Structure 1
Amino acid sequence: MRGTALSLAALVATAGMAGAAELNVYNWGEYINPEVLKKFEEETKIKVNLSTYSSNEEMLAKIQGGATGYDIVFPSVHMQDIMAKLDLLEKTDINKYEGFKNIDPSFLRAKSDPGGEYCLPYAWGSVGIFYNRKVLGKDVTGWKDLIETVKAKGLKFTLLDDMREVLAVGLILNGHKINSTDPAELQQAADTIIAMKPHVAAFTYDERPMVQAGDVAAGHAFVGAMIDVFGNEKDLGYVIPEEGATMYQEDICVLKSAPNKENAIKFLQFYTRPEIVALNVAQQTNGTANVPARQLTPEKIKNSKEINPPAETMGRLQIFEDLGPALRQVDRVWTRVKTAQ
């Protein structure tokens, strides 16, 4: 009996050790440089398991649906506020960690976490137009220019399969704010997008290969498409529309249900290091809130007005907010856009 008890104790201890040596990361698809995770594993001996999602809503549904085992998530700012309301996030006190001094305070955008007690700013960027100038025969300056060009030449472009991003384009083109819940403004935005539909090849997140191949002239895209532009600057371009655009920002948050909280906080601390952030930015081609990291990024990224826009361009960028119950009417308008013939 004593031998059995010892064996059970040993098994429990081993299981505990195995749990302590893991970190379960739940992130957007391809939204982190694998080299960053590898470096974390090498330094800490903590095994990283990566799972991916394609939208904030998908991630939240999974967590609310009872999915357990995830430690870290990467919500957009408005989703962080929603998750905070739902009491899903762990207070990490990352703002008390020495490396937090590297963070530009203007990126503490979550209304629920103005001091950075819960989450760490991860990455940000604009949402604009990724285009094939060989197909278009020109550079484009914004949405109106793109639409006129594709109409004249009988070409097609793609829009993101994203309710708020697409309706934001319609709102911006009509001079409205992207967080508007005014029914008339939302209907006007929907009408604008529906008028584009004859020239829209698809609502998709997979626009980059389509634009690269010349299957479509352009795609509604995140600034991460700059990695493709750098690979073929002769044919490809990315522009923040002159009419204005959305910007995104994701933060690294630890779930209240995380089984490996200590390891999760170690990862947040690890990600305050400028050289780690610069390694990620070099592969992701997006912006960072980590000020010293910006100087460590490759020259092309550091000097890119698309990745690091000047103040005048920044003034034209808007970020999504949690709309609360009013989101339902946005959803209804989106259904109208998607089903319109």
Structure 2
Amino acid sequence: MKKLMSTVAMLLAGTTLAHAEGTLQLFNWGDYTSPELIEKFEAETGIDVTITDYDSNDTALAKIEAGGHGFDLVVPSANYVQIYVEKGLVQELDLSKLPNHGNIAPEWMNVDYDPGRKYSIPWQWGSTGVAVNKTAYSGDINTSAIFLDPPPELEGKVNVTPEMNDVISLALWYVGGEPCTEDTEVLKKARDALVAAKPMWLSMDYGMTEKMAANDVMASVYWNGAIFRARLQNPDVVYGYPKEGFPLWMDQVMLLSDAQNVEEAYKFLDFIMVPENAAMISAFARYANGIAGSDPFMPEDMKSAPEILVPEEFAAAGHFLPTCSPKAQEYYTAIWTELQK
């Protein structure tokens, strides 16, 4: 799902992107946008798309809040949608400009964070779990112990993706708590577990599709689609669903309040709700999408992939993360700051 900011993003940091007719500025997670999709959209509409990458929800939110960014569309995760809405950073969609809005699958239409999809259009959804190279470890992989209490075979070989909400939520479930809790005793247990485990990690980094495929990392907290892509290159890579609890997520596209290329943005939003186009998004990044009718266009290997189909025995352990209260977010930030030391 996600990767370090691209060179393009860094070059654009702190600058304002100029408005031009027939252009669109998309601010999205790195390694997450199908080049074929963009080529098709540009060919059909004549609109030139510029993609700027970010590495985390917090990075994106901070950039948008700072203003002067020049972006038209952003792709936050579900638990950030209401933050964008409450801060006035996004605008309500004019559904009359989105004839394909009815293609959103019923189960993804009236979501808690955006009932009726008035502010957001589905992009992709998946899970955050643990990936392991089975040549290094043959034990139980369906547990957050892989990174919070690493087996001897994996000590010094584990990566943890630097995505605060996912990592702290996994730790909270592992110690018997729940995400976004304000219970300081439970939060302390999660913090202690993370701090104690960190010396046994190799890194806190992105880019695990390439690194796990190349055997540079033997285990990682990461996103299912990216690990699916690693497994296609290296069949020794397997994906586990922590039985203590693991995050489910959906990323969606939202129209920024200060978007300069609004009509172009609407054309893109409507375009990605065409089933065949939604399947192109999924075929590239290897995550499921929220558009009805896209299945016939999906790659065959996605229809039975263990990274896509959550085993029934672990299905109940997957949860969408809530939007944390300001107090809970303050606790999270304190834990994360300590973990970075």
* Pairwise TM-score range, normalised by the shorter structure: 0.7 to 0.9
Question: 8 Å contact 2:161–2:204 — kept in the other structure?
Answer: yes
Give 2:15's aligned residue. none
Give 2:331's aligned residue. 329
Give 1:23's aligned residue. 24
Matched residue type, 1:162: E
- Using a 3 Å threshold, how does the CA distance of structure 1 residues 111 and 139 change in structure 2: closer, same or farther? closer
Of residues 205-214 and 35-44 in structure 1, the stretch that sits farther from structure 2 once superposed is 205-214
Question: What residue ranges of structure 2 are gaps of 5+ in the alignment?
Answer: 1-18
Give 2:285's aligned residue. 284
The percent identity for this pair of structures is 29
1:102 & 1:316 partners in 2: Cα distance? 29
2:63 & 2:155 partners in 1: Cα distance? 41
2:141 & 2:312 partners in 1: Cα distance? 21
**Is residue 338 of structure 1 aligned with residue 340 of structure 2?**
yes
Question: 8 Å contact 1:81–1:111 — kept in the other structure?
Answer: no
TM-score (ref. length: structure 1): 0.87
Specify the SS of the correspondent of 1:43.
helix
Give 1:231's aligned residue. 233
Question: 8 Å contact 1:207–1:220 — kept in the other structure?
Answer: no
Give the CA deviation at 1:193.
1.4
1:154 & 1:86 partners in 2: Cα distance? 42
1:82 & 1:192 partners in 2: Cα distance? 29
Question: 8 Å contact 2:149–2:197 — kept in the other structure?
Answer: no
Higher Rg: 1
Matched residue type, 2:262: K
Specify the SS of the correspondent of 2:216.
coil
Question: 8 Å contact 2:124–2:290 — kept in the other structure?
Answer: yes
Give 2:39's aligned residue. 38
Give the CA deviation at 1:78.
1.8
Matched residue type, 1:250: D
TM-score (ref. length: structure 2): 0.87
- Using a 3 Å threshold, how does the CA distance of structure 1 residues 96 and 314 change in structure 2: closer, same or farther? farther
Q: Deviations over 1:131-188 (max 9, x none)?
A: 2112224562322367666325655201111222211121111222222222111111
Question: 8 Å contact 1:95–1:115 — kept in the other structure?
Answer: no
Matched residue type, 2:339: V
For the aligned residue pairs, the C-alpha RMSD in angstroms reads: 2.2
**Is residue 179 of structure 1 aligned with residue 180 of structure 2?**
yes
Of residues 261-270 and 315-324 in structure 1, the stretch that sits farther from structure 2 once superposed is 315-324
**Is residue 243 of structure 1 aligned with residue 244 of structure 2?**
yes
Q: Deviations over 1:27-81 (max 9, x none)?
A: 1111111111110000001111111111111112112212242111101112221
Give 1:13's aligned residue. none
Q: Deviations over 1:172-231 (max 9, x none)?
A: 112222222221111111111122223211111233333233233201111122011122
Of residues 146-155 and 117-126 in structure 1, the stretch that sits farther from structure 2 once superposed is 146-155
2:150 & 2:163 partners in 1: Cα distance? 24
1:251 & 1:147 partners in 2: Cα distance? 30
Give 1:268's aligned residue. 269
Question: 8 Å contact 1:132–1:211 — kept in the other structure?
Answer: yes
Paired residues in the alignment total 321
Matched residue type, 1:337: L
2:79 & 2:287 partners in 1: Cα distance? 19
Question: 8 Å contact 2:148–2:193 — kept in the other structure?
Answer: no
Question: What residue ranges of structure 1 are gaps of 5+ in the alignment?
Answer: 1-17
Question: 8 Å contact 2:73–2:254 — kept in the other structure?
Answer: yes
Specify the SS of the correspondent of 1:23.
strand
1:205 & 1:116 partners in 2: Cα distance? 30
Give the CA deviation at 1:98.
3.7
